[in-house]
Structure 1
Amino acid sequence: MYCRFGRLGAVLTILAFIVAILILVSLHEFGHYAVARLFGVKVLRFSVGFGKPFFTRKRGDTEWCLAPIPLGGYVKMVDTREGNVAETDLPYAFDKQHPAKRIAIVAAGPITNLVLAVIFYALSFSFGVTEVRPFVGTVELASVAAQAGFAPGDRIVSVNGEPIDDWSKAHTEMVMNLEAGKVAVAVQTGRGEDVVRTIDVAGTPAAAEVIRREGNIGLWPFKILNRVGMVVDNSPAARAGLQPGDTLLAANGEKLDSWQQWTDLFRRSPGLKLAVDYERNGEIRHTDLRPDTEELRDGTLIGKVGIAAERDQAWADQISHRYTPGIGQALVMGTEKMWHYSTLTVKFFGRLLTGQASMNHISGPLTIADVAGRSAAMGLQSYLEFLALVSVSLGVLNLLPIPVLDGGHLVYYTAEWIRGKPLSERIQMMGLRFGMIAMLMLMLVAFFNDITRLFG
């Protein structure tokens, strides 16, 4: 964790995470609070965070609190199941309300999160939208995508029969289906041929590696040129005299035609001197370059030279389109994106139950904090999309029919409404124990995955 947080700035990461929790949890709980007050239920406490409050303020009947553990919050209402209630407060007790009112109060929190996601997405889109068509620009050597036969110029038509119209959807469908079995990707090649690329890595170390690399299957929409786009100060490349715009030609007399070949050469040549031929302004030049040595967590030594490739802007212009939608269009797009990620999240949990998805996909607060810092460092638009995605996750997670979550309470109150009486206390306690065990296991898996990702 400290490695990543140090690069991005620990302060920015912590602040971005705290702001996200304050916004998403506060408004989730405020949804419960607002509907409870609408139906006349007395609210005793509104808390953001768990533990002993370090800030309290009494307004009317409600005590507003901030607590030190920023992993959730709660609204405490008058309820006869939690202790003695004054006779005058009985009409305002939560458990004395009609099941329909209790359902509305409980559902208000997750629904607030889903509405927030629409708003955050719409705000993000107001900065401008870049649509990337589902064309393959780059295929990493020895990657999952390379093994499946993908080639630059492929246009992805469908994934497991699901029509594809943009790059984001194509990538998501491929990654989400990796562990469910073979992934059939219909493509149209650069020559106009219709073929199917099959990704078959379910249950293999390659699938686990994709998760570790945050969904990277070695496939990118943009092309890179065999030309230097950026040189890090005081790096081996800078000391060798390389500059942005230089075209790399050969190393030790061997011609290398792609940037990936150069990347592979540098990585497997730590500390070795390389004789590099390059072109600058039509002139062929020569230099010696010795990659720095870096040790990976598993002890492997790799070389790093401190350069990045230049993107093929002509190809980027061909496959992408940027525009700024109006307010109405942005809200419609935000709703569509919220619905897409909501259904995707539900499908994921369904696949978890059937063993077709890995528990390694589950992330906890450490990873969320890490991503919060990275997205905030990239700018407001990226941070808004991060808030929207987390808000969708919170909304859908809380609607799952698991006791201790909002969705579990919705099941209880719906059953009570249908039966005309509450479920027995024994059944409710059994459900509560099951829900606590399930959530505890989920939290343990999430923390384990966080530690694995951030500490290796």
Structure 2
Amino acid sequence: MNTILAFLVAILILVSLHEFGHYIVARWCGVKVLRFSVGFGKPFLKKKRGDTEWCLAPIPLGGYVKMVDTREGNVAPEDLPYAFDKQHPAKKIAIVAAGPLTNLILAVLFYGLSFSFGVTEIRPFAGTVEPASIAAKAGFQSGDKIRSVNGKAVKDWGDTHTEIILNMESGKVDVAVQTASGADAVRTIDVAGTPEAGKVAKNHGNIGLSPFRNTMQVAEVSKGGAAEKAGLKAGDTLVAANGKPLSGWADWVVLVRASADKDIALEYLRGGVRQTATVRPTAEIAGGQTFGKVGLAAQPDQAWNDGVRYRFVPSVGEAFAMGWDKMAEYSRLTLEFFGKLLTGQASLSHISGPLTIADVAGKTAEQGWQSYVEFLALVSVSLGIMNLLPVPVLDGGHLVYYSVEWIMRRPLGERVQQMGMRIGLALMLMLMTLAFYNDINRLFG
């Protein structure tokens, strides 16, 4: 219920304000608006105010503003001056651009609001490197401080992760680091065109690298799990498994996952005394693969984790300036991503749909209002930029039509526009189908 509610609130806010951008500029330009709808389908709630019918419809995947337009039926003679298609191209461009621009402005406001209450940044450090992962094969070591990705300086973990993922599928990625001993080094990720690169999108961008660390101490033992049956308790410290020392919690996780229904000879410390136990991970199946599970949770390395976190409270002006920068940066990354999709340098698996948005909406809402507001800002950027793409059906496609009309001093032929709309509609249906497929594969696969 929390996930559904968080998703519906997000759609209600973002779609309503996007369409309100179209609506308010249409009114300023003297265009008569017949209907303002949030959602598609037959409205279940209507209210008429003035000339406009305000509606809520059951399919929460968008909305629309219906204006007087002679192309959509007969228009009363007295309404002709207020018809959208009878306006100057400059007015049409302003009305169409208002929706996406509202989303971008909204993102700045959301980010600024969140940042004004304090910003928590994660410094670009490698805390945990999972064995046999992409990061491990590239040579990353715990304690590495990441300085740049393909020559571009990074200031926090978010920048680092985004730049690595965005560049990884299109070619080699050189990550400049300063090691724990202070030496300069380069970690090279070179998996472009391999199955490993394709798996990253399905694993939420996981390359086996995290800024945080866990200790080898057990924080929690699941009731009825294999670990409890073996006698392990919270506070125990894992030392070795199958005669080999454990260098980190990730080592233990990898071993357990690969040992379904197989005995593990475990050595651990309890109260400073070395003890032994035999743990037999239970087998679980997910995504067509079988893995082991014992029911242990690690105690975080609080000193390290506190060290990589940095929190500060900017002034209101600084917060909204940071919000503008964040919006501009994500806009650039979104456009760059679409460019890489078109050139085949990015996997189609990265495309997400409403199910993933709903899932993330629920998770960010559980983390607190700031996380949820920043999620709204990010989705608002995505909506704004996607709608500005020059694809018929989208706002960007209409902007192209009206720009050409302004230059040529006459509208494009109706046949050309209809053909463009059919192509655009086909592209959007393909995109939505792919997004739903990725959602289902990612969430339930």
Which structure 2 residues correspond to residues 165-184 of structure 1 after superposition, within 5 A?
165-184=155-174
Deviation at 1:275, TM superposition (A): 4.2
Residues 215 and 401 (structure 1), Cα distance of their counterparts in 2 relative to 1, 3 Å cut: same
SS across alignment from 1:44: strand
1:432 aligns with 2:421: yes
Matched with 1:197 is 187
Shift of 1:51: 0.9
Query: 2:10 corresponds to which residue?
Result: 20
Deviation at 1:29, TM superposition (A): 0.4
Stretch of structure 1 that moved more, 34-43 or 182-191: 182-191
For 2:337, the aligned partner's letter is F
CA 1:114/1:297 → structure 2, altered by over 3 Å: closer, same or farther?
same
* Alignment root-mean-square deviation, CA: 1.8
Deviation per CA, 1:420-446, whole angstroms, max 9, x where unpaired? Answer: 222222332232222112212211211
Q: Letter of the 1:109 partner, please give it.
A: G
Which residue in the other structure is 2:207 paired with?
Answer: 217
Do residues 116 (structure 1) and 106 (structure 2) align?
A: yes
Percent identity of paired positions between Structure 1 and Structure 2:
66
1:446 and 2:431 are equivalent in the alignment: no
Q: Following TM superposition, by how much is the alpha carbon of 1:419 offset from its aligned partner in structure 2, in angstroms? A: 2.2
Residue of structure 2 aligned with 1:336, choices 325, 329, 333: 325
**Are 1:304 and 2:293 an aligned pair?**
yes
Q: Distance in 1 between matches of 2:365 and 2:439?
A: 19
Counterpart of 2:148? 158
| 1:229 counterpart SS class | strand
- Between the aligned partners of 2:376 and 2:366, the Cα distance in structure 1 is 14
Counterpart pick for 1:131 among 110, 121, 134: 121
Q: Distance in 2 between matches of 1:188 and 1:360?
A: 32
Q: Deviations over 1:17-41 (max 9, x none)?
A: 1111111111110111111111221
Alignment partner of 1:148 out of 134, 138, 148: 138
Query: Corresponding residue for 1:56?
Result: 46
Quote how far apart the aligned CAs of 1:357 are.
0.9
Range moving further from structure 2, 384-393 or 317-326 = 317-326
Judge conservation of contact 2:128–2:250 (CA < 8 Å) in 1.
no
The aligned runs of 1:308-327 (5 Å cut-off) are 308-327=297-316
Q: What CA distance in whole angstroms lies between the structure 2 residues aligned with 1:244 and 1:334?
A: 42
Match of 1:3 in 2: none
Displacement after TM superposition at 1:254 (Å): 4.0
Gaps of 5+ in 1: 1-10
Contact 2:212 2:304 (C-alpha < 8 Å) held by counterparts: yes
Of 347, 350, 355, 1:361 maps to 350
The code of the aligned residue for 1:430 comes to: M
**Equivalent AA in structure 1 for residue 58 of structure 2:** P
Give, in whole Å, the separation in 1 of the partners of 2:49 and 2:77: 22
Match of 1:70 among 57, 60, 66: 60
Q: How does 1:282-293 map to 2 (within 5 A)?
A: 282-293=272-283
Measure the CA separation in 2 of the matches of 1:103 and 1:140.
51
User: Which one of the candidate residues 29, 32, 44 is aligned to 2:34?
Assistant: 44
Paired with 1:291 and 1:126, the residues of 2 have a C-alpha distance of: 47
Counterpart contact for 2:130–2:251, Cα < 8 Å:
no
SS of 2:412's equivalent in the other structure is coil
Secondary structure, aligned partner of 2:200: helix
